[in-house]
Amino acid sequence: MNRTLDHSMDEVISEDTPIHKKRFFDLEFSILIGPLTLLVVLFTFLPLLITLFFSFLKLGDDGLMTNSFSLQSYINAFSGAYGEIFLRSFYYAVQTNILCIIIAFPVAYYITQYGGRWKAFLILMLIIPETTAVIIRIYAVKTMLGNMGVINNILMGTGLIDSPIRMLYSPFAVMFGLVYYSLPYMILPIYASLEGLNPALLEAATDMGATPIRRFFRVILPLTKGGVFAGTILVFIPALGDYLVPTFLGGSKVMMVGNLVTHKYITAGDIPGGSAFGVVLTAILILVLFIIIKKGGEDALEKVI
């Protein structure tokens, strides 16, 4: 009987049936995904492959690229002042991410617990500045940190200082700018995680005698780690390769990887060097993204999407 049933199923699912064809080729799916795949290949993978190829070339005595392969650009990327720039960029990105988490959690928690009917308005106030061009917001920060800016005027008006404090073109200005424009991208994922948190769990922790600090580290933080990892993706990765903030707020005193790649390509004309630094930066970002997704799981990706 089983042999007869198998023979009947083979006749039903034959090579001429639509079900059999759908296993190997779906025309509608191919039409939908084909243009997107072509765009990703042409504008993402192909430029990366070209950059990777250029990174193994070297400059000739005339300053032009030669066809001879060399690893010198990669050796330079991890040695001397170039290695320090990579470490400095990584340090700034980590510091920016930590500061954003420290600031974002209280803000997101306040909106969740005490926002009430003003929740939508408060979230809108976080989103509206992001509709403004980044360069405009950076200039706003530059004006704020200037010698006659808002911060110095407040400090001098209250009598705390007698003369303006020089804040621009310093590591402090770069950190301030990175945190300023990255903060909303940390607040929103954490807010989404807190909004989905079951209040009964917090009440149960309180009834069992947990202090607010213990409740935060044992209940709130583990259950909202997806939002933290999602915010880290949105904050750490752009901060590591940022170009505009160190350029306009750090000047020539603070150089990060993004400035270094631009300098190699445009100012020095060292295309192999710039390509090698770009490849190393891309590899670091992919590694960080892999670790975050590995630790945060699908919840982190859902918060980002």
Q: Which two tokens stand for residue 145?
A: 């940190």
**All domains in the chain, ordered by first residue:** 2-55 (no CATH), 76-304 (1.10.3720.10)
Asked if residue 138 lies in contact with residue 244, where contact means CB atoms within 8 angstroms, the answer is yes
Q: Is the pLDDT of residue 299 over 70?
A: no
Who wins on pLDDT, 90 or 293?
90
Contacts of 109 (CB under 8 A, 6+ apart): 194, 220
Angle of the 225-240 helix axis to the 171-195 helix axis, nearest 10: 150
User: Residues of the chain with pLDDT > 90: what percent?
Assistant: 39
Please determine, for residue 243, whether its predicted confidence score (pLDDT) is greater than 50: yes
Torsion of CA 129, 131, 133, 138, to 10 degrees: 20
pLDDT digits (tens, 9 = 90+) for 141-180: 999 998 888 899 998 988 888 888 989 999 999 999 999 9
Segment 41-63, tens digit of pLDDT: 888 889 999 999 999 998 877 77
Q: Write down the pLDDT at residue 56.
A: 93
Share of the chain above pLDDT 70, in %: 87
With contact defined as beta carbons under 8 Å apart, do 264 and 273 qualify?
Answer: yes
| Residue type (1 letter), 121 | F
Burial of 289 (0-12, 13-18, 19+ CB in 10 A): middle
Whole-structure pTM value = 0.81
> What tokens appear for 162 in the block?
């007698």
User: Tokens standing for 101?
Assistant: 């988490």
69 forms beta bridges with 57
